Structure 1
């Protein structure tokens, strides 16, 4: 695990002003676990409000448009996200790839726009159950990453990679620690190859896919797992902080 694990909550299409109390509670809890970097990605409508409430946690967005401005009804530019208080953006999530048919070309354009706006990136990757059962999971994920890893000199500061096997997202299923370790090792090899020994160690590889307080400790203790991208379990302070505490315990050794 990286020296300071990164635990990120992805609220997806959930949350309203009434749930700001959960964000406040998460922020208070994060202040007691300084060995862990904690962040939330609420829906666009709450980014500004959560960033105003948060004293300790990072706040980010779940997506952005590749353009700077213009006639794109319903879209949000990376610069607008940054202006609202966000510090990072999640890109290439499987739900965007599947629900909106996003391909590498579009994801790369979003990455470039986000970096230009000064945002950090969490780049997602992951395979379907069919791909894993066919024995092609590792090759698929590495090809996915090769197509989108940004060519930047400060990757250690600007980039995290989130491995989320699609079949484990919101299903209650998780990959085995053996499978997680093998995939994270393969991803680390590609990051080493891409960014070199100076930057690579600081690029954290997160695991996502039904991470809960009950399994977080085992997952986060797995080799090369530098944190977690958490979905449903991040919606309440009680469950999300359970994961944060597990991360702190692993970090303390």
Structure 2
């Protein structure tokens, strides 16, 4: 597909890492989130800001998304992750999701590796509120019907259009780290409310940013089903992920 391209140097600097997401019931690996970062000339890995700042339009967002998926699926083949049936979760900005041809692009990239759609998931994020909720619902439904997993990412109490977004046909919701780590009663009440709604919809609910056993136990007691954070694993390169999979 042809796009208005971001800076080629930025595309060349993209590096991929992976963070495990586990089932809180037994600590077993469920899937990994793909984290895209950029590397400086000296090899230093920068934070996510470079990637986010480059997504200045839907066209830029989808071109970067394409690069990230291509790099990840190349590593998926080279490091033998298919032998583990490892599901991957990619971040997908809602404005990129609404770009024409997204489903066709994802299908094409997946088919090159012969992966089943249910091994690919998309965590939907937004920097700006999406006002065309009907269009978002239609694309999410198309991706779901094609077999892909969808999750709403970075859920907080003040998220715009939260009630409408929760009614989308998604497989999971992810609680933002700020909510997970907060000791405020309102935050903990929000966690329990989201967990109850997810259970009623037969959705998974993932807590991001778990760093201590106490936070893990609080989330488990609140009926949160999955966890992600340094308590379980820091982000891994492809080679260290392979070692992690072999060890588990």
TM-score band, normalised by shorter chain = 0.5 to 0.7
1:52 paired to 2:108: yes
| 1:148 aligned partner | 194
1:39 matched residue in structure 2: 89
Rg larger in 1 or in 2? 2
User: Following the alignment from structure 1 to structure 2, what is the Cα–Cα distance between the partners of residues 244 and 140?
Assistant: 36
Q: Per residue, is there more strand in 1 or in 2?
A: 2
1:7 aligns with 2:39: no
The secondary structure found in structure 2 opposite 1:77 is helix
Within a 5 Å distance, the mapping from 1:215-226 to structure 2 comes to: 219-220=231-232
Question: For structure 2, which runs of at least 5 residues remain unmatched after alignment?
Answer: 1-25, 37-51, 56-60
**Residue correspondence of structure 1 range 3-152 to structure 2 within 5 A:** 3-9=28-34, 13=55, 15-28=64-77, 29=79, 30-34=81-85, 36-43=86-93, 44=97, 45=99, 46=102, 48-54=104-110, 55-56=115-116, 57-63=119-125, 72-73=131-132, 76-84=135-143, 85=146, 87-93=148-154, 97=156, 101-102=158-159, 106-114=161-169, 119-127=170-178, 137=183, 139=185, 141-149=187-195, 150=197, 152=199
What is the correspondence of 1:165-180 to structure 2 with a 5 Å cutoff?
Answer: 175=211, 179=212
Q: CA RMSD in A?
A: 3.9
Shift of 1:22: 0.7
Check the 8 A contact 1:50/1:59 in 2, yes or no. no
The alignment of Structure 1 onto Structure 2 pairs a total of residues equal to 179
SS in structure 2 opposite 1:148? helix
Deviation by residue 1:91-114 (Cα, 9 ceiling, x = unmatched): 2516xx59xx516xx323312222
**Aligned equivalents of 1:184 and 1:113: distance in 2?**
27
Contact 2:151–2:173 (Cα < 8 Å) also in 1:
yes
- 1:7/1:247 CA distance change after superposition, 3 Å: farther
TM-score, L = length of structure 2: 0.54
Distance apart, 1:140 and its partner CA = 5.3
SS at match of 1:123: strand
- Cα deviation, residue 74, structure 1: 8.8
Counterpart pick for 1:182 among 214, 219, 234: 214
Distance 1:141 1:243 in 2: 34
Q: Which runs of 5+ in 1 are unaligned?
A: 65-70, 166-174, 192-199, 212-218, 222-227, 234-238
